[in-house]
Structure 1
């Protein structure tokens, strides 16, 4: 039996950027937040997390995630974060900086869309490669949680990261796994039969319709 057999994993997406607003693929491009436009959604997320403590905090090393974490953690005594390139967005390769309207008539782009990201875009990364690095990060984070008796973990990452984790923990369809900026998921994990399994999941922050 592991030292800790239950924990919560909260993973949230970074705040709004100019490329989000323009609906451009960002991927590995180090695009900063669009200020002050990004603040309202991040404030709502910050309020949701106001009374929550975390035993470990992680984030993608890209600027938009660093800025989001700084906003969420200001004035709080959260642990020193671990910035990790394995939490970066999918590398969209030749499609980065471009929009759907610019790409929609390209046969290669249509094939990539139809594959639900399983094939790699030109000079980019496949979903399988992304899952491999995410699995390595998750295994390490969970091993640390077991060893150090962590109960709650926070990670600030990207939409594609959350989409892949939702496919893993919630078995949702690729197209149903997206979340908005400064939104994410909370997964309750239980250690059973030699592995961590998701017992339930919920939206972060709680949708307004659910609290009214």
Structure 2
């Protein structure tokens, strides 16, 4: 299977650099720069959040399936929408949370790593194997999918993609 993982288009600049998990925010169409993806797809999937579905529509994809399992990790309510500087200034913050990715995840996320990986594994397990597939999702979701597939983890900018061959 050839799996193209596309990060959604940019949100309004006021949300750049913020922890935006399940909050359903639209893309900023004024920041949208069309891209051409390198192949045709047998199936197209998207997170059910607006920033992903709007991205696909802007790119001309009308026939895609949404799946809530492709959402970004769910952040704790007190951190949702905040940037790192704001979190660092909170009374509950402790620099020791930065000692490992797992500690940081446990601190800011309302969804455990196991739950996050589990829903993404469930999605991947259901994909048709001999197909070219496009998935539009979120930065953290894509990084976790790459980890699950033992592929090099890439931090994608808005509207960047990576292609993985799954055997």
Classify the TM-score, shorter chain. 0.7 to 0.9
Cα 1:56–1:48 change in 2 (3 A) is closer
Task: Quote the residue 2:141 is aligned against.
Answer: 161
Q: TM-score, normalised by structure 2?
A: 0.86
Question: Offset of 1:111 from its aligned partner?
Answer: 4.4
Q: Match for residue 5 of structure 2?
A: 11
2:106 aligned partner:
120
Distance in 1, matches of 2:94 and 2:74, equals: 14
**CA, structure 1 residues 156+123, in 2 after alignment: closer, same or farther (shift >3 Å)?**
closer
Greater fraction of residues in strand: 1
| Greater RCO (Cα-Cα under 8 Å, separation 6 or more) | 2
Check conservation: 1:167, 1:177, Cα contact below 8 A. no
Q: Does 1:132 align with 2:118?
A: yes
Structure-2 separation of matches of 1:20 and 1:132: 31
CA spacing shift, 1:20–1:178, aligned 2, 3 Å: farther
CA deviations on 1:30-80 (whole Å, 9 max, x unpaired) are: 01101211x12xx13xx234xx21111100000000100111225xxx7x3
Which of 1 and 2 has greater Rg? 1
* CA distances 1:132-184 after superposition (whole Å, capped 9, x unpaired): 0000010011xxx14xxx42011100001111122223454xxx531111112
Q: Specify every segment of 5 or more residues in structure 2 that has no aligned partner in the other structure, as ranges.
A: none
Give the conservation status (yes or no) of the 8 Å contact 1:61–1:88: yes
Residues 134 and 111 of structure 1: CA distance in aligned 2, closer, same or farther (over 3 Å)? farther
User: Quick check: 1:189 aligned with 2:144?
Assistant: no
Q: Secondary structure of the residue that 1:121 maps to in structure 2? A: helix
Normalising by the residue count of structure 1, what TM-score does the alignment of the two structures yield? 0.69
State whether structure 2 residue 131 is matched by structure 1 residue 151. yes
**In angstroms, what is the RMSD of aligned CA positions?**
2.3
Whole-angstrom CA distance in 2 between matches of 1:68 and 1:48: 13
Long gaps (5+) in structure 1: 1-6, 191-212
Describe the superposition over 1:63-121 as per-residue Cα deviations: whole angstroms up to 9, x where unpaired: 000100111225xxx7x311000000011112111111111245546444433146433
What are the equivalent positions in structure 2 for 1:3-152 lying under 5 Å apart? 7-18=1-12, 22-37=16-31, 39-40=32-33, 43-44=34-35, 47-49=36-38, 52-74=39-61, 80-93=63-76, 94-106=78-90, 108=93, 110-117=95-102, 119-121=105-107, 124-141=110-127, 145-146=128-129, 150-152=130-132
Q: Which has the higher helix share?
A: 1
